[in-house]
Chain A
């Protein structure tokens, strides 16, 4: 009886001993990647065909699938966050459980680098042969803080003028197949009036409702074009200036004369351009692919009539456009050398596939991709290529840039819609931004 009872117990104990003493199985190294750009698993969840993928979400999803397929010793687990995801990242960092690799706007890097919440990547990038000398000027400026590279740049993006050539042609604003663009604020008003008279539609489509950044980006571009040094001190903004007043007056006049759409949020404005409700939509590089696809469809208001150009130079200072970029950062945390090496390999893979990513419409972050024939052969890239020279971010030392954009956009919106006098809105924006920067630790 005792033997009958002991038998299975001994076998079980032996099994436990065997499995317990056996070294832990060395499965693939797991990397947690946290990104925005949306979720599209239904369409691309199992695809590894990167050249066939379209759009930000499609391309990044297939890129990660391809990396997983090509590197069986590494497993990339993707955590998709609602744009831009920094509240979640901050909470994860505060809790001490950050992901291993995160998408980050270059304008946000200072917030995290100054608190040592993300790692300098010089050594990591060098270990896989990524040389910052190969970055474009805009990308290098975007990811470098105090002489160290804090991120792998993925692209540079800027607000562009997406143009409905069909409507512009009806308004007599197309010459030799290209849109006639303004070279000054006065010309902008004149052409906008001509457009609206001829088509009965607003010249501009703008996302102004609940948009945390669009108006601020327009202001930054127009201030830079006037050589206004509004962030001479990164801890203090100057907005009560004739240059800023001039910009707000221009956009208010455009609205007052009915030359722009009203009360549209981002979704409505994006759809409005697709539906041919206006001539020019000021939005970023990421919409090029979508609108180009629409222009190839018969029956679309954009059919055979879409182009895109950088923000025109409206002021006589210099040709410049406010720009930002997407990049990849590694939050500071204890990691094994094996995991860090795996992350470095993924970074190398992302750098090597920057051309694929640039099919989204974003400007490549690497000079060799910009110079390549295949990139220039993509639709409209020759039109936007000059952004490589004209794109400019805010000074690297400016912290909380997303919040600053939100404050400025709110105040601009209230001035443009007439809820506040322009001078009050500028004074309020300046006070609120400076209060924010003054109270940083």
Chain B
């Protein structure tokens, strides 16, 4: 026992020293990222939380008021409208982006020249800036000389004011967003589909499995992790709707298309009420965190079962 201990002790020390050295090297490797992460994400997060507890404007003069900004937000009908608009927008965009992205990826997952061309075509909208995208769609949607208005007029129908109708403004922005953003989910799904082993399909064909059977039993289970990534990425992106609403409708009519980020921008930079804007930002952060984590844990739960 003693001899054992005597021989084991130096060996354990060496192992411990080696692992300590490895940890130090590892830490050195990740240090640049950790520093940037802490300075640009962690610090602003806590700084924002602290700011949200103050009555403050852009030019200082802050005063600690506890949770009053949060209480004020929950009494503010415009903020509550912005929250419900944001949730509605996420519902309008995330499922279609995921399903259409998957559909396009399945359709274009082959080596033909046409598929390559169409993949490039569908992805091309993603490289445009929000200004260009919204200008294009404004020209399609406006009732005075817009593309849809002209088509409707040519068949004797009245033009529809998509961007000034309280019921149509947000769906119009959602449609624009889907057109703009569809490239990323399609590419992610395509990458995942190309990782699925070919021999699984060959085996399935030998077993006389049909296309639907292969889709349900091989393809979809194989790309479930990518599907989760797509949903989480799109949730995070679409909760942060800003440019499209700012340029196309300015949040109107009657705040019907006002998203939370535009509300935060208006309150913070136009009214200088930066403490109030920080409180709204923290609520948005919490909502994105809950939505992304719920999706993540639900998917993990299903997997473990």
Whether A87 contacts B270 by the Cβ 8 Å rule is yes
Structural contact, B144 and A264, CB atoms closer than 8 A: yes
A16 within 8 A of B: no
Question: Are A420 and B55 in contact, CB atoms less than 8 angstroms apart?
Answer: no
Is A243 among interface residues, defined by CB-CB distance under 8 A? no
* Chain B proximity mask over A405-441: 1 for CB below 8 Å, otherwise 0: 0100011011001011000000010001001100111
Assess whether A413 is in contact with B253, with CB atoms less than 8 Å apart: yes
**Alpha-carbon gap, A440 to B59, bound state (A):** 12
Question: Bound state CA distance, A265 and B142, in angstroms?
Answer: 9
| Any A CB within 8 A of the CB of B61 | yes
Q: Is the CB of A94 within 8 A of B58?
A: yes
B272 within 8 A of A: yes
Query: A210–B252 contact, CB under 8 A?
Result: yes
The segment out of B160-168, B187-195, B281-289 that lies at the interface is: B160-168
Please, which residues of chain A bring their CB within 8 A of the CB of B276? 439
A87–B58 CA distance with the chains assembled, in angstroms: 11
Whether the Cβ atoms of B143 and A263 lie closer than 8 Å is yes
A414 in contact with B59 (CB, 8 Å): no
Question: Within the assembled complex, what's the spacing in Å between the Cα atoms of A94 and B58?
Answer: 6
Known: A413-B253, A414-B254. A94 touches B270 (CB 8 A): no
State whether the Cβ of A268 lies closer than 8 Å to any Cβ in chain B: yes
In the complex the two chains form, is A87's CB within 8 Å of B269's CB? yes
Does B213 sit within 8 A of A, measured CB to CB?
A: no
Find out whether the CB atom of A272 lies under 8 angstroms from the CB atom of B249. Answer: no
Q: How far is the CB of B79 from chain A (nearest CB, A)?
A: 11
Contact B249 A439 (CB under 8 A): no
Cβ B142 vs Cβ A414 within 8 A: no
B59, A272: Cβ atoms under 8 Å? no
Beyond A263-B164, A268-B144, A441-B61, is A417–B269 a contact (Cβ under 8 Å)? no
Given the complex of chains A and B, what is the CA–CA distance between A208 and B273 in angstroms?
Answer: 27
Once the chains bind, are B254 and A262 in contact (CB under 8 Å)? no
Tell me the complex Cα distance, A208–B78, Å.
20
Given that A115-B59, A439-B276 are known contacts, is A414 also in contact with B253, CB under 8 Å in the complex? Answer: yes
Instruction: Judge whether B164 and A432 touch: CB under 8 Å.
Output: no
Identity of the chain B residue whose Cβ is nearest the Cβ of A264 in the assembled complex: B144
- The answer to whether B254 and A419 touch across the interface, beta carbons within 8 angstroms, is yes
Judged by a CB distance under 8 angstroms, whether A37 is at the interface is no
Nearest to B273 among chain A residues (CB) is A439
Given A87-B269, A94-B58, A115-B59, also A420-B254 (CB < 8 A): yes
Contacts of B271 in A (CB 8 A): 400, 403, 436
> A419–B145 Cα gap in the complex (Å)?
25
**Assembly CA distance A413 to B63 (angstroms):** 36
Q: Does A117 contact B (CB under 8 A)?
A: yes
Q: Are B59 and A117 in contact (CB under 8 A)?
A: yes
A-facing residues in B62-82 (Cβ within 8 Å): 63, 72, 76-78
Question: Looking across the interface, which residue of chain B has its beta carbon closest to that of A211?
Answer: B250
Q: Are A441 and B166 in contact (CB under 8 A)?
A: no
Q: How far, in Å, is B261 (CB) from chain A's closest CB?
A: 14
B163 touches A209 (CB 8 A): yes
A-B contact pairs, 27 of them (CB 8 A): A87-B269, A91-B269, A115-B59, A208-B164, A209-B253, A210-B249, A210-B250, A212-B250, A262-B161, A263-B143, A265-B142, A268-B142, A400-B270, A400-B271, A403-B270, A406-B270, A410-B252, A411-B254, A414-B253, A419-B166, A419-B253, A432-B78, A435-B76, A436-B273, A439-B72, A440-B273, A441-B55
